[in-house]
């Protein structure tokens, strides 16, 4: 029979080994594999000409398709499936990087960054959410959709959101004008332009409410375009509490065994 005092001593030793080992272990880097749909723009896109700062200085231009990307998530490390607001089979994203490329069918290993989203980007997403919730009649607090920006109603809106996200990252002033500045775009479809102007008008409003940082995250890759997507914040148990729960279960087992002896 194992005495209570010995059980406590064993538990203490296990706790020291577990927590000490975790303290010395390398931190887990959250990551996920994204398989991009083919076609990659499930809602359609708008083919536009963009002008943006060059990666090594100067300026650059490109003909691009602007729209919301779609794909699926697998091989999650350090995170749960709950971080994807519409589930792992329907991951909706926008490009947050103009210096790499992505194509339909690409399978990309991303690290997940829960911070580092620019304030201008959060300002823009907040404005998009306000406009879309207003249009849908869901402005009331209990009905407000913080993820409306990844759930647009049309290809024009999705293209406008993509262009606005690029404007938020690559533009340096607060004019919110897609036609001028260090980032600009031309040859927009009329629907894209109208949707974008509505979003820009909302972000220029002094009463605009930015998106809270915990409701979005970045997917980062050194070889492929980085993505920005929605993130429902939740409580993820840290290693120490998980270990204590395990030890608590062992303690209960030993206590029951001792009481039966």
Whether the CB-CB separation of 163 and 66 falls below 8 Å is answered with yes
pLDDT digits (tens, 9 = 90+) for 8-53: 444 454 445 444 554 556 789 999 999 999 999 999 999 999 999 9
Q: Where are the domains of the chain?
A: 4-26+238-260, 31-230
**Cα Rg of the chain (Å, integer):** 24
pLDDT digits (tens, 9 = 90+) for 41-68: 999 999 999 999 999 999 999 999 999 9
What tokens were used for 131? Answer: 């406009």
Burial (CB count <10 Å: 0-12, 13-18, 19+), residue 204: middle
Reply yes or no on whether the pLDDT at 157 is more than 50: yes
Reply yes or no on whether the pLDDT at 256 is more than 80: no
Reply yes or no on whether the pLDDT at 119 is more than 60: yes
For residues 230-235, give the mean pLDDT: 82
The contacts of residue 214 (CB under 8 Å, 6+ apart) are 114, 231, 233
pTM beyond 0.85, yes or no: no
pLDDT band at residue 234 using 50, 70 and 90 as cut-offs: confident
Lowest-pLDDT range, 73-82, 222-231, 251-260? 251-260
């Amino acid at each position: 029979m194992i005495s209570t005092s010995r059980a406590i001593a064993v538990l203490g030793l296990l706790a020291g080994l577990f927590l000490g080992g975790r303290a010395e272990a390398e931190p887990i880097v959250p990551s996920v594999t994204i398989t991009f749909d083919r076609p990659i723009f499930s809602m359609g896109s708008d083919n536009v000409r963009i002008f943006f700062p060059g990666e090594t200085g100067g300026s650059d231009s490109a003909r691009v398709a602007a729209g919301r990307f779609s794909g699926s998530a697998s091989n999650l490390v350090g995170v749960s499936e709950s971080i994807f607001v519409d589930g792992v089979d329907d991951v909706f994203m926008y490009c947050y990087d103009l210096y790499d490329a992505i194509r339909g069918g690409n399978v990309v290993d991303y690290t997940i960054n829960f911070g580092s989203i620019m304030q201008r980007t959060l300002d823009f997403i907040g404005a998009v959410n306000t406009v879309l919730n207003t249009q849908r009649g869901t402005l009331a607090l209990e009905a407000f959709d913080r993820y409306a920006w990844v759930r647009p109603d049309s290809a024009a809106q999705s293209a406008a959101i993509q262009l606005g996200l690029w404007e938020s990252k690559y533009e340096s002033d607060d004019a919110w004008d897609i036609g001028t500045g260090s980032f600009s775009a031309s040859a927009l479809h009329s629907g894209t332009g109208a949707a974008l102007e509505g979003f820009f008008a909302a972000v220029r409003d002094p009463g605009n409410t930015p998106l809270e940082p915990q409701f979005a995250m970045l997917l980062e890759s050194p070889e492929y375009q980085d993505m920005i997507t929605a993130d429902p914040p939740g409580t993820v148990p840290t290693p120490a509490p998980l270990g204590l729960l395990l030890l608590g279960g062992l303690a209960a087992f030993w206590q029951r065994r001792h009481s039966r002896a």
